[in-house]
Amino acid sequence: MAKAEIPKWFNLETYQIPLSHDQWGVSIDMRAMYLDVKPLLSKKEQIDFFKVFAGRLPEDFAVEHHTDPFPVRSMNAADLAVISASWSNDPAWQMLFQKVCSVVGKDAPATLLDEVVAIYQEAPSMKKEALENVGWLAPEFCHGVPITVDLNSDDETLKLAFSVWLAGVRSDMNERFKKPISEDDFQKWHKYRILAAFDLYQLADITGTRFTNSQMANALFPPASVSIEDRDVDMGERIRKVTKPLMDQTITFETVRLIRATTRLEKYLGQVIEDEKNTREILK
Q: Output the CA torsion sign for 31, 44, 37, 238.
A: negative
Q: How far apart are CA 199 and CA 54, in angstroms?
A: 6
pLDDT of residue 221: 93
pLDDT of residue 63: 46
User: Residue 68: how many CB atoms within 10 A of its CB?
Assistant: 14
pLDDT of residue 33: 94
Q: How far apart are CA 62 and CA 24, in angstroms?
A: 12
- According to DSSP, the residues that pair with 209 across neighbouring strands are 2
For the chain, residues with pLDDT lower than 50 are 61, 63, 66
pLDDT of residue 233: 86
pLDDT of residue 225: 82
The per-residue pLDDT for range 188-213, each reduced to its tens digit, is: 999 999 999 999 999 999 999 999 99
The per-residue pLDDT for range 19-65, each reduced to its tens digit, is: 988 899 999 999 999 999 999 999 999 999 999 999 888 765 454 55
pLDDT of residue 138: 63
Q: How far apart are CA 257 and CA 29, in angstroms?
A: 9
HEC letters along the chain = CEECCCCCCCCHHHHHCCCCHHHHHHHHHHHHHHHHHHHHCCHHHHHHHHHHHCCCCCCCCCCCCCCCCCCCCCCCHHHHHHHHHHCCCCHHHHHHHHHHHCCCCCCCCCCHHHHHHHHHHHCHHHHCCHHHHHCCCHHHHCCCCCCCCCCCCCHHHHHHHHHHHHHHHHHHHCCCCCCCCCHHHHHHHHHCCHHHHHHHHHHHHHHCEECCHHHHHHHHCCHHHCCHHHCCCCHHHHHHHHHHHHHHHHCCHHHHHHHHHHHHHHHHHHHHHHHHHHHHHHHC
